[in-house]
């Protein structure tokens, strides 16, 4: 525990708010939807026609653990609109879709030509486990399945399915752009280091977290009958709530990645379940590199407050999203 506590990224001992005595964890009420989400994904995957070897590879990458942050955000963004009792196939499809995109991106990012990582979620990466060709193809398949689950016509009306898939493609485009900026550069000229690191993080991580939250919120609005046939919020209050979820997502997305940067230089690989210290090794742009560790921690607190403030619009239904922010600010892996 001492090693963990020492490594906790966010709050230095001198800061107010003492370290928790052990690793923080998400409350049971927050992770309660996970079994249903995983069963939904698993059932969808089982129904898709594909070679069993490919199915096994997708399953390995998809259902082998992980924080499931994106589906939890989608779920609780839906609940932030509807309250915890309404949830349906569009919300579950959204949860599955964002996890498929996240899992695909990890498989491709781990490839030898990319980050060349051998370990992910404490296990061999997919290309180590099943070969590089299968990892390329399984990643491709997962990206395609993410759209497939939204568009399968099982649960969502066409207009909602289209709206959710559009959010997904926007988020995925940002994620890929962020990966290019992070690993290959290609910035417009004249940007400061700080502007560049924000651009990397807003895209690489933020765009898909934003899509996760917005997809959940749209599914929630739809369940409440608050979307027009054209897919826009039907009332001013509905529009304000969608905007609040979006602002929340943008703050949390950036905060999440700054915490990641801090953990990369303060945690052991054994604790994180993946290689650490690699940003530094790779000479990547990071928040600690630009703002220092203390500056990064201050930025994390600022964004946490910003996310909390956005949730005010959502009233008591937003409490689960608030708990997620609090956890993400102090997570240690």
Instruction: Note the residues at the interface with a second copy (CB under 8 A).
Output: 48-54, 104-105, 108, 111-114, 127, 131-137, 139-141, 143-145, 147-148, 151-153, 158-159, 161-163, 165-166, 168-170, 172-174, 176-177, 179-181, 183-188, 229-231
Backbone Cα Rg of the chain:
19
Supply 63's token pair. 């259902």
Give the C-alpha separation, 140 to 163, whole Å: 22
Rounded least distance, CB 222 to a second copy, Å: 12
Q: Which two tokens stand for residue 143?
A: 């990206």
- 145 versus 223: smaller Cβ distance to a second copy: 145
Q: Does residue 207 contact residue 178 with C-beta atoms inside 8 Å?
A: yes
Nearer to a second copy, 202 or 296 (CB): 202
- Could you tell me if residue 14 is left (phi over 0), alpha (psi between -120 and 50 degrees) or otherwise beta? alpha
Instruction: Provide, rounded to whole angstroms, the least separation between the CB of residue 149 and a second copy.
Output: 9
* Residue 176: CB minimum distance to a second copy, A: 5
Location of structure tokens 């926007």: 170
Report residue 221: phi and psi, to 5°: -60, -40
Identify which of residues 17 and 112 has a Cβ nearer to a second copy in the complex.
112
Shortest distance, position 271 Cβ to a second copy, whole Å: 28
- CB atoms under 10 Å from CB of 138, counted, come to 30
For the bound state, the minimum distance from the C-beta of residue 181 to a second copy, rounded and expressed in Å, comes to 6
Query: Closer to a second copy at the Cβ: 34 or 159?
Result: 159
Q: Are 255 and 325 in contact (CB under 8 A)?
A: yes
Task: Give the span between the Cα atoms of 90 and 180, in whole angstroms.
Answer: 31
Q: Which ranges of the chain would DSSP assign to H, the alpha helix? A: 2-7, 28-31, 34-47, 52-62, 69-82, 89-109, 126-130, 132-151, 158-184, 193-201, 207-223, 236-266, 269-272, 278-281, 287-311, 319-330
CA 123 – CA 274 distance, rounded (Å): 9
Residues 6+ apart with CB under 8 A from 232: 239
Whole-number minimum distance, CB 156 to a second copy, in Å?
9
| Shortest Å distance, C-beta 45 to a second copy | 12
Cβ(33)–Cβ(72) below 8 Å: yes
Among 122, 47, 62, 135, which residue's Cα sits nearest to residue 98?
Answer: 62
User: Smallest gap, in angstroms, from Cβ of residue 40 to a second copy?
Assistant: 17
Q: How many residues does the chain have?
A: 333
**Least distance CB 235 / a second copy (angstroms):** 20
Dist. CA 228–CA 304, nearest whole Å: 32
């Amino acid at each position: 525990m001492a090693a963990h506590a020492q490594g906790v990224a966010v709050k230095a001992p001198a800061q107010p708010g003492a370290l928790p005595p052990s690793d923080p964890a998400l409350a049971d009420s927050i992770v309660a939807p996970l079994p249903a989400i995983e069963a939904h994904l698993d059932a969808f995957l089982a129904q898709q026609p594909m070679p069993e070897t490919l199915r096994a590879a997708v399953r390995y990458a998809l259902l082998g653990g992980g924080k499931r942050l994106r589906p939890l955000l989608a779920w609780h963004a839906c609940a932030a609109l509807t309250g915890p009792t309404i949830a349906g196939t569009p919300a579950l499809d959204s949860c599955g879709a964002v996890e498929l995109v996240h899992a695909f991106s990890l498989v491709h990012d781990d490839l030898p030509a990319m980050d060349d990582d051998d370990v992910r979620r404490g296990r061999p990466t997919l290309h180590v486990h099943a070969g590089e060709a299968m990892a390329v193809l399984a990643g491709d398949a997962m990206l395609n399945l993410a759209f497939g689950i939204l568009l399968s016509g099982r649960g969502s009306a066409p207009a909602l399915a289209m709206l959710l898939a559009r959010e997904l493609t926007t988020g995925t485009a940002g994620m890929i752009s962020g990966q290019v900026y992070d690993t290959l550069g290609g910035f417009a000229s004249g940007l400061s280091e700080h502007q560049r690191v924000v651009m990397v993080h807003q895209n690489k991580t933020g765009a898909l977290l934003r899509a996760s939250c917005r997809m959940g919120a749209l599914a929630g609005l739809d369940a409440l009958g608050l979307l027009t046939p054209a897919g826009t919020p039907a009332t001013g209050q509905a529009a304000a709530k969608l905007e609040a979820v979006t602002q929340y997502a943008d703050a949390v997305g950036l905060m999440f990645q700054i915490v990641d940067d801090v953990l990369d230089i303060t945690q052991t690989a054994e604790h994180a379940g993946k290689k650490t210290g690699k940003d530094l090794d790779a000479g990547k742009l990071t928040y600690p590199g630009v703002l220092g560790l203390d500056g990064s921690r201050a930025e994390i607190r600022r964004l946490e407050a910003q996310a909390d403030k956005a949730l005010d619009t959502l009233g008591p239904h937003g409490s689960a999203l608030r708990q997620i922010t609090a956890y993400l600010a102090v997570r240690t892996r």
